[in-house]
């Protein structure tokens, strides 16, 4: 993995030198600026003064309920604002409108507009020289061109107001032209409205004359077709044939009803007689005179029989005679019932014959109606044509009457009106002497200032070389003698260190790389480790020392076979860089963004987990610059639901299982996992970090609080940049003591950074 590289800037702009050069040339700049202002002032004094007047026109549909047609809707005032106003502006600037203004105000005789104005104008002379043509220009063209140049028509912001601005050397003439243009446009819009109405009225008159003939011909064709095909119309606008068919159908239905009723009544009477039941309850039987008389006689005899039956026996001759008479009467009533049934059947037969006759007539009428129906189709077509022509004629007559009453002058309201009339101006609109002189002065001064600065930069006088970001050490580092530790003696040996550097830690990176961790360290002053280091710090130092001893074991074995005496290592002056103990957050973030730092190991100093907050800030900065970021939690100890680094070290999860996307899908992260600790003997965590370093541009590893549980020794061999993160309330001296102990334990470089700088940034 590549670590941070030194900044390649080698020169800077000396602002003091630039301003010194400008100060030396300041009198000349002021003199030239004043000369330019004086020349501009003379030119402005010779230029004619133009006065500007403004007239305003409101564009809106105008309507009055008394002047509007009966069926005409009030025009909308919100549709097509932009297009309507743009069209009105083009009409105002049209040639026809301006020609009317030129004729009304006789602008052809004005020297200002016809090109014969006396007096000297440098700008006018230059414009005449530029615009001179071999083709002679008429007076109308010159006046029209000048009026175009002197007039501006604009739409006021987000409104239907159109402002007509006219400039002239005569204030009164400018106001008169603006008012004349506004009045001419209003009059033209009114004439256009009247012209449209007059043209519509003329066209309607011609169409009405044509439609009258067409309607008369169409109605004549309808009447003639009725006569030729006997399609006469009776009441309710119905043909005679249809009326006959309707009447005949009604009669047939009535005959059928009467026949069915007679047959039913006859069948009922015969059924009662065959079953031996009395028929006196039947209405037809009661209506028979004979049956009524026989029924009365029967009732009288039944009364006598009832009287005699009370005193005589049933075999008495009188009783038997009465029974015989009653039986005879029943026989005669039944006979009369059969006669009534026969009469009803005869009536039903009559109705059946009548129905058959009417059915024959109906069939004949149907044949006639089929032909009449076909004729009616053609008749309906002729009637529709005649009705359409008649309706169109009536509509045109109504429109013509309305249009003919609105072709007179002032009978319609134009869609524009003058809302503000122009008045003569007392202040010239051009030239704005003060504003123009101010602009010329600023431009002249700026150009000269820029020329001076550019000259200084091009000559190199304003450039100053700067030293590299990591400057070489200014003082030599004394030689330090240190025995080489072997595998038989893994414990680090405390050797005396004599340093002559006060505030900075200087180390030889090349020597550190050559000796694989047997670093020679320069410290501000000797530190008593037994008094400062805590139990956790001693454990961490022991782990780092053990890893350094393992790296040196193979090399020490070879050296021990040939020479048992301590090896003296001469520390060289640092070749490329000098490192301070404290690094600012802004510099750290810049190194990550610029690619100077690729792998960053964040160790916490204190229990507030400041490394997590700094990592969040660094991730946000790197993502803001478009870099790919991976954040590895190797020190929080928070057991989560997803597999992480602890599971990977315990062989509970694979490499692909522990790398996941963040909640907002913006960067990759590796969580602590579901295990309680990370197996320190496992090489999978360091392998994972190396693999992620080949994929992502920024790799951040949280190693936790410095102490026995810190995972910093696991990743110390990867060559990453180690930063000890502290909070604002932490003692800087205590952090510096821990930093020195880490360097003593074998880390080539350890820096201190405050998390509060990251929060402030």
Secondary structure string (H, E, C) spanning 523-578? CCCCCCHHHHCCHHHHHHHHHHHHHHHHHHHHHHHHHHHHCCCCCEECCCCCCCCC
Quick count: other Cβ atoms within 10 Å of Cβ 180?
Answer: 23
**42-56, 204-218, 225-239, 304-318: least confident range:** 225-239
In angstroms, the CA 521 to CA 507 distance is 6
Whether 480 shows a pLDDT value over 70: the answer reads no
In angstroms, the CA 112 to CA 86 distance is 29
Overall fold of domain 585-760: Rossmann fold (3.40.50)
Q: Which of 266-270, 455-459, 722-726 has the highest mean pLDDT?
A: 722-726
Cα separations in angstroms, 349 against 203, 248, 335, 342: 74, 19, 21, 11
How large is the average pLDDT for residues 153-174? Answer: 90
Please, which pLDDT band fits residue 61 given cuts at 50, 70 and 90?
A: confident
In angstroms, the CA 368 to CA 373 distance is 9
Whether 54 shows a pLDDT value over 80: the answer reads yes
Q: Which two tokens stand for residue 2?
A: 């590549």
Cis amide leading into 431 (omega within 30):
yes
What pLDDT is attached to residue 57?
92
What pLDDT is attached to residue 439?
92
In angstroms, the CA 334 to CA 331 distance is 5
Closest CA to 156 of 59, 80, 62: 59
Q: Is the dihedral of CA 539, 540, 541, 546 positive or negative?
A: positive
What pLDDT is attached to residue 531?
42
What pLDDT is attached to residue 234?
56
Half-sphere exposure in the Cβ direction for 125 (13 Å, CA): 8
Residue 408: enclosing H or E segment and its boundaries?
none
Q: Is 661 helix (H, G, I), strand (E, B) or coil?
A: strand
Answer yes or no: are the C-beta atoms of 12 and 469 closer than 8 Å.
no
Q: Is 298 helix (H, G, I), strand (E, B) or coil?
A: helix
Please, which pLDDT band fits residue 545 given cuts at 50, 70 and 90?
A: low
Q: What is the mean pLDDT of the chain?
A: 75
Between 512 and 75, where is the model more confident? 75
In angstroms, the CA 756 to CA 70 distance is 80
What pLDDT is attached to residue 410?
57
Whether 9 shows a pLDDT value over 50: the answer reads no
Cα separations in angstroms, 591 against 13, 134, 508, 588, 622: 23, 71, 21, 5, 10
With b for 16 or more beta-carbon neighbours within 10 A and e for fewer, the 519-557 pattern comes to bbbbbeeebeeeeebeeebbbbbbbbbbbbbebbeeebe
Answer yes or no: are the C-beta atoms of 55 and 422 closer than 8 Å.
yes
Whether 530 shows a pLDDT value over 60: the answer reads no
Q: Is the dihedral of CA 171, 173, 178, 183 positive or negative?
A: positive
Domain ranges for the chain, please list them: 14-44+432-465, 49-193+413-420, 240-404, 480-569, 585-760
Closest CA to 527 of 542, 553, 557, 505: 505
Whether 446 shows a pLDDT value over 90: the answer reads yes
Give the tens place of pLDDT for each residue, 615-668: 899 999 899 888 999 999 988 888 888 899 889 998 888 888 899 988 888 899
Between 491 and 264, where is the model more confident? 264
| Angle at CA of residue 454, ends 452 and 455, nearest 5° | 65
With b for 16 or more beta-carbon neighbours within 10 A and e for fewer, the 195-221 pattern comes to eebeebbeebeebbeebeebbeebbee
Give the tens place of pLDDT for each residue, 369-404: 666 666 677 777 888 888 898 898 888 888 887 777
Whether 163 shows a pLDDT value over 90: the answer reads yes
**229-238, 419-428, 508-517: least confident range:** 508-517
In angstroms, the CA 299 to CA 309 distance is 15
Give the tens place of pLDDT for each residue, 186-231: 988 888 777 777 778 888 888 888 888 988 888 888 888 777 776 6
Cα separations in angstroms, 324 against 76, 208, 337, 384: 107, 100, 20, 84
Whether 111 shows a pLDDT value over 60: the answer reads yes
Quick count: other Cβ atoms within 10 Å of Cβ 419?
Answer: 12
637: left (phi over 0), alpha (psi -120 to 50) or beta: left
In angstroms, the CA 596 to CA 697 distance is 11
Q: Which two tokens stand for residue 223?
A: 């009447």
Q: What are phi and psi of 428, to 5 degrees?
A: -65, 140
| Angle at CA of residue 673, ends 670 and 675, nearest 5° | 150
Please, which pLDDT band fits residue 760 given cuts at 50, 70 and 90?
A: low
Whether 180 shows a pLDDT value over 90: the answer reads yes
In angstroms, the CA 649 to CA 655 distance is 10
What pLDDT is attached to residue 32?
94
Please, which pLDDT band fits residue 172 given cuts at 50, 70 and 90?
A: very high
């Amino acid at each position: 993995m590549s670590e941070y590289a030194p900044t390649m800037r080698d020169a800077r702009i000396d602002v003091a030198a630039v301003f010194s050069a400008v100060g030396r040339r300041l009198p000349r700049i002021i003199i030239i600026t004043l000369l330019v202002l004086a020349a501009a002032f003379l030119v402005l004094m010779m230029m004619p003064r133009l006065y500007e007047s403004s007239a305003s026109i409101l564009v809106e549909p105008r309507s009055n309920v008394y002047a509007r047609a009966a069926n005409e809707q009030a025009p909308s005032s919100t549709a097509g604002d932009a297009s309507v106003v743009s069209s009105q502006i083009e009409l105002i600037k049209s040639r026809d409108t301006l020609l009317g203004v030129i004729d009304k105000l006789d602008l052809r005789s004005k020297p200002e507009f016809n090109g014969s104005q006396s007096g000297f104008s440098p700008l006018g002379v230059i414009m005449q020289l530029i615009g001179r043509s071999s083709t002679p220009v008429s007076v109308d063209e010159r006046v029209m061109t000048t009026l175009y140049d002197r007039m501006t028509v604009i739409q006021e912001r987000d409104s239907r107001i159109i402002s007509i601005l006219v400039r002239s050397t005569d204030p009164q003439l400018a106001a008169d032209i603006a008012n004349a243009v506004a009045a001419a446009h209003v009059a033209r819009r009114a004439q256009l409205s009247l012209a449209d109405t007059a043209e519509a009225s003329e066209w309607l008159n011609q169409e009405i004359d044509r439609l009258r003939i067409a309607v008369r011909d169409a109605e004549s064709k309808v009447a003639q077709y009725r006569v030729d095909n006997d399609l006469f119309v009776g009441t309710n606008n119905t043909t005679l044939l249809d009326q006959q068919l309707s009447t005949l159908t009604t009669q047939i239905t009535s005959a059928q009803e009467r026949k069915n009723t007679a047959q039913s009544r006859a069948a009922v009477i015969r059924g009662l007689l065959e079953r031996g039941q009395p028929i006196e309850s039947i209405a037809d039987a009661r209506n028979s005179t004979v049956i009524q008389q026989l029924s009365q006689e029967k009732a009288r005899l039944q009364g006598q029989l009832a009287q005699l039956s009370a005193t005589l026996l049933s075999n008495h001759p009188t009783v038997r005679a009465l029974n015989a008479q009653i039986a005879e009467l029943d026989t005669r009533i039944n006979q009369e019932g059969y006669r009534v049934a026969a009469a009803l059947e005869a009536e039903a037969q009559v109705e059946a014959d009548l129905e058959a006759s009417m059915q024959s007539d109906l069939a004949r009428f149907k044949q006639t109606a089929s032909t009449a129906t076909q004729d009616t189709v053609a008749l309906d077509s002729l009637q529709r044509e005649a009705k359409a022509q008649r309706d169109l004629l009536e509509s045109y007559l109504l429109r013509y009457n309305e249009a003919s009453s609105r072709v007179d002058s002032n009978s319609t309201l134009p869609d524009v009106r003058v809302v503000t009339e122009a008045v003569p101006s007392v202040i010239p609109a051009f030239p704005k002497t003060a504003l123009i002189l101010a602009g010329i002065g600023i431009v002249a001064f700026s150009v000269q200032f820029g020329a001076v600065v550019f000259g200084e930069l091009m000559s190199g006088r304003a450039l100053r070389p700067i030293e590299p970001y990591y400057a070489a050490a200014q003082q030599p580092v004394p030689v330090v003698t240190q025995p080489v530790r072997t595998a038989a003696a893994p414990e680090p040996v405390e050797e005396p260190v004599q340093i002559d550097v006060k505030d900075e830690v200087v180390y030889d990176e090349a020597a550190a790389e050559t000796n694989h961790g047997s670093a020679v360290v320069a410290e501000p002053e000797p530190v008593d480790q037994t008094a400062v280091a805590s139990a956790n710090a001693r454990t961490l130092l022991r782990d780092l020392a053990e890893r350094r001893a393992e790296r040196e074991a193979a090399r020490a074995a070879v050296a021990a076979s040939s020479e048992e005496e301590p090896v003296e290592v001469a520390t060289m002056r640092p070749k490329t860089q000098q490192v301070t103990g404290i690094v600012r957050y802004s510099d750290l973030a810049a190194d990550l963004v610029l690619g100077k730092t690729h792998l960053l190991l964040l160790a916490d100093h204190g229990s507030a987990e400041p490394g997590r907050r700094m990592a969040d800030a660094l991730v946000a900065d790197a993502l803001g610059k478009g870099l790919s970021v991976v954040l590895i939690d190797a020190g929080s100890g928070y057991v989560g639901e997803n597999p992480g680094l602890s599971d990977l070290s315990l062989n509970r999860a694979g490499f692909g299982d522990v790398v996941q996307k963040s909640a907002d899908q913006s960067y990759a992260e590796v969580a602590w996992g579901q295990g309680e600790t990370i197996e320190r003997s496992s090489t999978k965590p360091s392998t994972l970090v190396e693999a992620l370093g080949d994929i992502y541009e920024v790799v951040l590893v949280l190693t936790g609080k410095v102490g026995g549980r810190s995972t910093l020794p696991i990743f110390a061999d990867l060559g990453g940049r180690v930063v000890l993160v502290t909070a604002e309330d932490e003692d800087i001296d205590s952090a510096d003591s821990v930093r020195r102990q880490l360097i003593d334990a074998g880390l080539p470089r350890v820096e201190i950074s405050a998390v509060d700088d990251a929060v402030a940034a």
